[in-house]
């Protein structure tokens, strides 16, 4: 007689039960037990509830958080793997408690602007990723007809620039091209994610050792005026749009107004804008260079207020490394990009804790909201049915960043020697602790239709 192996009267043994007195659940932090069957969370129980399991780990006072979902990571493979590749980026991500990344369509070669390039990306990532990986497509002048194929192949949406991107093969859209891309993206029921700086407000930096000249070359108006163009294009076409890496808090008024007017718009910022200030950046310290630039301390505080007030939707790394030789000592010529995928959680927690905010706030900004933005309904929360992507985090441990200990490809980061509070202890991907000595288990994700 055939027996159904799934229909058993024997009591279920969960594969793993994790207990923590500080479990960050969607409705707040409390002592709980998280029972995992296979790759998913099966049940949330009380902390001391007896639950039959093959393995049980008691994390005691370590916090248990949902794995971070970082929707803004530049991996650069294939083509510029010497800048950053899937193996190095995802190893760093896992060490930082990030269990899902969505890769940006530029600085790899080819850029992800058609399905052939997406296939090259997928082939390059295959078997190398320690965390789950999805892909953004790119919208550049002339590739409008390629967006539908990319959407059907599972990209999470389309990135464009309104100003030069830093690499010639990924040119910006003019205002008419931006409007056209919005119309296409609206027809595809996708999202256009925009690097919004208006090139008419960008100036030459000139040779100067100080950060102030670079900052002056990319003023607040460059962001605010470009964001107004994006809002207008979204309003006229019905497109869903997203503002990447907001640096200028002044732009929040225009974004609020757009939302109130029914525009489907969201906005992110990054750890560097929330933890650093222009006036503290040393001369020639180009590890701090990114675009738009890190602005002054008062602006940083306004960004925190925007985040706390829900005017900024979430926080992502914009991890964008380069080899050390491209970080020259000249702000005019150095690569613009900050490497930080491994540090986002402790950076944001260090500041959030000082401001009286909770781990639940941090989990919402860096995991739940980003998962929702990407349409990843099984990611970003500790709840029955979700993927068992989890992080054990010691919220009290003080430590000092050493660039040479970070796991992305090159030991360049503006946070070298910075003192932080809070450290990642373990990261689980779909039910198993990530082990970088073993074969990578990361999967490639596709956006499912809304
Ligand atoms: Zn970026």
pLDDT digits (tens, 9 = 90+) for 111-134: 999 999 999 999 999 999 999 999
The reply to whether 274 and 130 lie within a common domain is yes
The helix or strand, by DSSP H or E, that contains position 179, with its residue range, turns out to be helix 175-187
The reply to whether 151 and 53 lie within a common domain is no
The reply to whether 59 and 137 lie within a common domain is no
Domain extent for 422: 2-64+386-397+418-433
Neighbour-count burial of 416, counting CB atoms closer than 10 A to its CB (0-12 exposed, 13-18 middle, 19+ buried): middle
The reply to whether 266 and 130 lie within a common domain is yes
CATH code of the domain containing 30: 2.30.40.10
Q: Cα(77) to centroid of ligand 1, in Å?
A: 15
pLDDT tens-place string over residues 413-424: 999 999 999 999
Neighbour-count burial of 212, counting CB atoms closer than 10 A to its CB (0-12 exposed, 13-18 middle, 19+ buried): middle
pTM of the predicted protein model: 0.96
- Token pair, residue 262, equals 């029914």
Q: Cα(242) to centroid of ligand 1, in Å?
A: 13
Q: Cα(35) to centroid of ligand 1, in Å?
A: 36
Q: What's the structural domain count of the chain?
A: 2
Torsion angles phi and psi, residue 289, rounded to 5 = -80, 125
Directed axis angle between helix 220-237 and helix 252-260, to 10°?
Answer: 10
CATH code of the domain containing 289: 3.20.20.140
Cβ contact 272:218 at 8 Å: no
Mean pLDDT of 271-294: 97
The reply to whether 156 and 244 lie within a common domain is yes
- The Cα 239–Cα 242 span in angstroms is 10
Q: Provide the pLDDT confidence category of residue 1 given band limits of 50, 70 and 90.
A: very low
Q: Provide the pLDDT confidence category of residue 260 given band limits of 50, 70 and 90.
A: very high
User: 71 by DSSP, 3-state: which?
Assistant: strand
Residue 310 has pLDDT above 80, yes or no: yes
How high is the pLDDT of residue 335? 92
Neighbour-count burial of 293, counting CB atoms closer than 10 A to its CB (0-12 exposed, 13-18 middle, 19+ buried): buried
Q: Cα(440) to centroid of ligand 1, in Å?
A: 25
pLDDT tens-place string over residues 197-216: 999 999 987 777 899 999 99
- The Cα 285–Cα 412 span in angstroms is 11
Q: Cα(344) to centroid of ligand 1, in Å?
A: 15
The reply to whether 185 and 50 lie within a common domain is no
pLDDT tens-place string over residues 142-185: 999 999 999 999 999 999 999 999 999 999 999 999 999 999 99
Residue 378 has pLDDT above 90, yes or no: yes
Q: Provide the pLDDT confidence category of residue 12 given band limits of 50, 70 and 90.
A: confident
Mean pLDDT of 241-258: 98
The reply to whether 294 and 428 lie within a common domain is no
Q: Cα(171) to centroid of ligand 1, in Å?
A: 14
Mean pLDDT of 214-220: 96
How high is the pLDDT of residue 192? 98
The reply to whether 171 and 30 lie within a common domain is no
Q: Cα(420) to centroid of ligand 1, in Å?
A: 24
The reply to whether 323 and 344 lie within a common domain is yes
- The Cα 374–Cα 194 span in angstroms is 15
Q: Cα(337) to centroid of ligand 1, in Å?
A: 8
Q: Cα(211) to centroid of ligand 1, in Å?
A: 20
Alpha-carbon distances, residue 267 vs 13, 97, 108, 245, 366 (angstroms): 43, 22, 24, 8, 13
Residue 363 has pLDDT above 90, yes or no: yes
- Say which residue, 436 or 55, is predicted with more confidence: 55
Cβ contact 76:90 at 8 Å: no
Q: Cα(72) to centroid of ligand 1, in Å?
A: 6
Q: Cα(318) to centroid of ligand 1, in Å?
A: 5
Residue 2 has pLDDT above 50, yes or no: no
How high is the pLDDT of residue 6? 56
The reply to whether 313 and 391 lie within a common domain is no
């Amino acid at each position: 007689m055939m027996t159904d192996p799934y229909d058993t009267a024997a009591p279920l043994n969960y594969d793993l039960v994790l207990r923590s007195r500080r479990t960050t659940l969607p409705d707040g932090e409390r002592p709980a037990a998280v029972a995992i069957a296979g790759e998913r969370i099966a049940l949330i129980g009380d902390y001391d509830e007896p639950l039959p399991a093959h393995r049980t780990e008691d994390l005691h006072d370590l916090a248990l958080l949902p794995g971070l979902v970082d929707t803004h990571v530049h991996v650069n493979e294939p083509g510029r793997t010497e800048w950053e590749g899937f193996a190095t980026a995802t190893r760093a991500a896992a060490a930082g408690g990030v269990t899902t990344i969505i890769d940006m369509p530029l600085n790899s070669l080819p850029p992800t602007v058609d399905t052939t390039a997406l296939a090259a990306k997928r082939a390059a990532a295959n078997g190398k990723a320690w965390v789950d990986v999805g892909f953004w497509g790119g919208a550049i002048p002339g590739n409008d007809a390629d967006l539908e194929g990319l959407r059907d192949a599972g990209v999470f949406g389309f990135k464009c620039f309104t100003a030069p991107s830093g690499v010639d093969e990924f040119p910006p859209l003019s205002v008419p091209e931006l409007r056209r891309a919005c119309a296409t993206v609206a027809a595809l029921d996708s999202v256009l994610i925009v690097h919004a700086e208006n090139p008419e407000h960008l100036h030459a930096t000139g040779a100067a050792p100080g950060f102030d000249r670079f900052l002056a070359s990319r003023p607040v108006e460059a962001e605010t005026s470009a964001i107004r163009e994006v809002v207008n294009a979204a309003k006229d076409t019905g497109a869903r749009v997203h503002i990447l890496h907001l640096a200028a808090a002044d732009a929040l008024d225009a974004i609020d107004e757009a939302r109130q007017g029914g525009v489907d718009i969201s906005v992110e910022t990054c750890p560097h804008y929330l933890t650093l200030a222009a006036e503290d950046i040393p001369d020639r310290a180009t590890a701090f260079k990114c675009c738009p630039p890190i602005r002054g301390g008062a602006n940083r505080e306004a960004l925190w207020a925007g985040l706390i007030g829900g005017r900024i939707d979430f926080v992502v790394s914009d991890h964008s490394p380069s080899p050390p030789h491209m970080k020259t000592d000249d702000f005019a010529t150095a690569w613009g990009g900050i490497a930080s995928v491994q540090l986002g959680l402790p950076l944001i927690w260090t500041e959030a804790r000082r401001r009286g905010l909770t781990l639940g706030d941090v989990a919402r900004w860096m995991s739940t909201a980003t998962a929702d933005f990407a349409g990843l309904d099984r990611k970003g929360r500790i709840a029955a049915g979700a993927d068992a992507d989890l992080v054990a985090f010691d919220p009290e441990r003080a430590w000092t960043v050493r660039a040479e200990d970070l796991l992305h490809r090159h030991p360049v980061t503006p946070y070298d020697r910075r003192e932080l509070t809070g450290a990642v202890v373990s990261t689980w991907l779909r039910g198993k602790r990530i082990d970088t000595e073993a074969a990578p288990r990361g999967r490639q994700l596709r956006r499912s239709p809304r």
